[in-house]
Chains A and B, each alone.
Chain A
Amino acid sequence: MSKQLLTSIAKALLIARWKQTLVAAIGVTFSITMFITLLSFMSGLNDLLDGLILNRTAHIRMFNDIKPNENQPIKLAHKDNEGHDFIESIKSDGNRLAIYNSGAIMESLQKDNRVLGYSPKISTQVFFNDGNIDINGSIFGIEPIQETKLFHFDEYVTSGNSADLSKINNSIILGKGLATKLLANIGDAIQVTTSKGERFQLKVVGVFQSGIKDFDNVQSYASIKTVQKIMAQPNNYITDIQVKLKDIKMAPTMAKEYQKLYETDAEDIQTANSQFETGSSIRTLISYSVGITLLIVAGFGIYNILNMMIFEKMDSIAILKATGFSGQDVKRIFIYIAVSIGIFGGLVGLLLGFGLTSIIDQIPFNTAALPTIKTYPINYNPKFYMIGIVFSLITTYLAGWFPARKASKIDPVIIIRGK
């Protein structure tokens, strides 16, 4: 109906005092910019810390644990379950670390549509021989392509190429600490001795740095085939299957399911890294409380600026009412004014927030613990931008609505007489 007239009045009021409008819009812009920047930066840092664990940990790890056999022979004699059996001196059973039927398990994992991917793994203890020194260490047999796809393996390889593991026979990628101790460079050959006393020569094709020094001092990677060869095992010998799921939250239930289905041990990430869970949820809590605080402070800022702006226009309200505009019309005009400031200021705020975070994203950030991180991390989550614009609309709407409602209710004479 009279919408067009009201919007044109609102527009005229906005443009006529463009400096004041600009100040109000800048207030909104500033608040939204700060909100976007801080939240993107904080959650970027948070994701970085989460990624330290999440990127290289399997959601479910299947393996055969060293533990006593649950089916002790006496159970066969007491099938009726009456009374208690007391057995002493039970020993753990660790003869076979390999997963039974690993090929079939992997095949069925391939078909499971809850699974993002899996990667087989073998771990074995070896000695690295350097002259007359033997360094205790371990070798993981991996499939470099899968490992890179699921666990960002190549990001930790600081020199050399992870793919060379499968291309070059008998090759190895050493931890940085280990490489330093062995004085080994890419292209060098090193010697390892297995626990069974066999000697093997391996070619160094790369060096990795995980950020955890203890790990880098003893750890190395080779292809599954190479490790099977070192251990003199057949090519179905797999000690671990690492599974990455589409939804990490399903890990505990699926781990139980796999344990039953495949008759192996299965451990989920939540159980294996409970301290990580706590840390992560506390960090999330901190970012939320900072975010909410920011929004509240910004909200009051926006509210104040707009409130003042509308009270300055009380005169105009009186004139409009005296010449026949109803309270409803006046309210609409001021809500148009407030919301257009909200939209304009909010959108510019989003843009500036994006700009500011992009700048932070360029600031160098080097730390030994995180070899792959070169600049400060930023999370460009569209959710923050949505919250930002919705919030600026809501606060400006309310900031327009409250004073406008008050002004629309009173008789025009009260404003006129107050002059």
Chain B
Amino acid sequence: MSEIILEAKNINKFFTDPIRIQVLNNINFSINKGEFVSLTGKSGCGKSTLLYILSTMDTDYDGILWIDQMEMPKKNEPLLAKVRNEKIGFVFQFHYLLNEFNVLNNVMLPGLKLKKYSTEEVEHKAMEKLKILGISHLALKKANQVSGGEKQRVAIARALINDPLIIMGDEPTGNLDKKNSDLVFDIFNELSSEYHQTLLIVTHDPSFAERTHRIIHMVDGKIDN
């Protein structure tokens, strides 16, 4: 019925330092367009590791990964960077903004890199995203002058700037208080329901996971059905 935008096949990963340990064991799954998926599991079960592989930020694994029906090569770094830029929006646990830039520029950077739109258009789009997230009044503040919850919203705006196929989050609410994590969840929910945005969020917060469309639960490097 709906198209598959991310598919993982037989993904295995080993940590070799200090000893060889298998962290991911034969992971197979796919995500359809418009799905709001949460990836849960205990600490150390490999969920973040899997997410980094899916986001192409880690190329040291066995198995095959398709994003938007295209197989991801492991050695072609510029191509992976392009995929990350165009198709993936990533939200980290610790917001990871560039403190050297103001909020607006932080959001604009991936858009400028994409070069699909002119600087003015990118700026306009960035302001729109900030408005959706209710933080347009912070646009000209330095990234390190806004609060934790606001930073996370800036990071989400940045993830949205290139209209990505999928947004991935590595415990985006893990570092936030109840009020702010509810706010972030509401944003994700709204993106999913109103804009049919595909989302894949790693979380260990059960109340967060329960409210998503689909939960992928991991135990010891395997997907637990």
Known: A12-B101, A319-B98. A324 touches B57 (CB 8 A): no
Q: Is the CB of B82 within 8 A of A13?
A: no
Q: Tell me whether A318 is interfacial, beta carbon within 8 Å.
A: yes
Within 8 A of A (CB), among B159-191: 162
Q: Is the CB of A324 within 8 A of B98?
A: no
Known: A321-B57, A328-B78. A413 touches B52 (CB 8 A): yes
Q: Tell me whether A322 is interfacial, beta carbon within 8 Å.
A: yes
Question: A103 to chain B: closest CB distance in Å?
Answer: 80
Q: Is the CB of A323 within 8 A of B158?
A: yes
Q: Is the CB of A324 within 8 A of B100?
A: no
By a CB distance below 8 angstroms, the chain A residues around B52 are 413, 416
Q: Is the CB of B96 within 8 A of A2?
A: no
Q: How many A-B residue pairs have CB under 8 A?
A: 78
Q: Is the CB of A323 within 8 A of B109?
A: yes
Say what secondary structure dominates the interface of chain A: helix
Q: Which residue of chain B is the closest to A13 with respect to CB atoms? A: B100
By a CB distance below 8 angstroms, the chain B residues around A12 are 100-101, 105
Q: Tell me whether A17 is interfacial, beta carbon within 8 Å.
A: yes
Q: Tell me whether A412 is interfacial, beta carbon within 8 Å.
A: yes
Q: Is the CB of B100 within 8 A of A17?
A: yes
Within 8 A of A (CB), among B88-109: 90, 92, 94, 96-101, 105, 109
Q: Is the CB of B113 within 8 A of A325?
A: yes
Q: Is the CB of A324 within 8 A of B112?
A: no
Q: For the side of the interface on A, what is the size category? A: 20 to 34
Choice from B59, B60, B82, B162 contacting A326 with Cβ under 8 Å: B82
By a CB distance below 8 angstroms, the chain A residues around B114 are 324
Contact digits for A1-35, partner B, Cβ 8 Å, 1 yes 0 no: 11001000100110111000000000000000000
Question: B146 to chain A: closest CB distance in Å?
Answer: 16
Within 8 A of B (CB), among A308-328: 315-316, 318-328
Known: A16-B99, A411-B59. A323 touches B78 (CB 8 A): no
Bound-state CA distance A416–B60 (Å) is 15
Could you list which residues of chain A lie within 8 angstroms of chain B, going by C-beta atoms? 1-2, 5, 9, 12-13, 15-17, 315-316, 318-329, 408-409, 411-413, 416, 419
Choice from A17, A316, A320, A327 contacting B77 with Cβ under 8 Å: A327
Choice from A322, A327, A409, A419 contacting B84 with Cβ under 8 Å: A322
Q: Is the CB of A412 within 8 A of B101?
A: no
Question: B149 to chain A: closest CB distance in Å?
Answer: 19
28 contacts between A and B (CB under 8 A): A1-B115, A2-B112, A2-B113, A2-B115, A5-B112, A5-B113, A9-B109, A12-B100, A12-B101, A16-B99, A16-B100, A16-B101, A319-B96, A319-B98, A321-B57, A321-B81, A322-B55, A322-B90, A322-B92, A323-B110, A324-B81, A325-B81, A326-B82, A328-B78, A409-B77, A411-B58, A416-B57, A419-B94
By a CB distance below 8 angstroms, the chain B residues around A325 are 81, 85, 113
By a CB distance below 8 angstroms, the chain B residues around A323 are 84-85, 90, 109-110, 113, 158
Known: A2-B115, A328-B78, A413-B58. A322 touches B96 (CB 8 A): yes
Q: Tell me whether B86 is interfacial, beta carbon within 8 Å.
A: yes
Bound-state CA distance A329–B114 (Å) is 12
By a CB distance below 8 angstroms, the chain B residues around A324 are 81-82, 84-86, 110, 113-114, 162
Contact digits for B43-82, partner A, Cβ 8 Å, 1 yes 0 no: 0000000001001011110000000000000000110011
Question: B77 to chain A: closest CB distance in Å?
Answer: 5
By a CB distance below 8 angstroms, the chain B residues around A9 are 109
Bound-state CA distance A1–B94 (Å) is 32
Bound-state CA distance A319–B95 (Å) is 10
By a CB distance below 8 angstroms, the chain A residues around B92 are 322, 416
Choice from B60, B82, B100 contacting A316 with Cβ under 8 Å: B100
Q: Which residue of chain A is the closest to B79 with respect to CB atoms? A: A326
Question: B91 to chain A: closest CB distance in Å?
Answer: 10
By a CB distance below 8 angstroms, the chain B residues around A5 are 112-113
Choice from B57, B97, B113, B158 contacting A411 with Cβ under 8 Å: B57
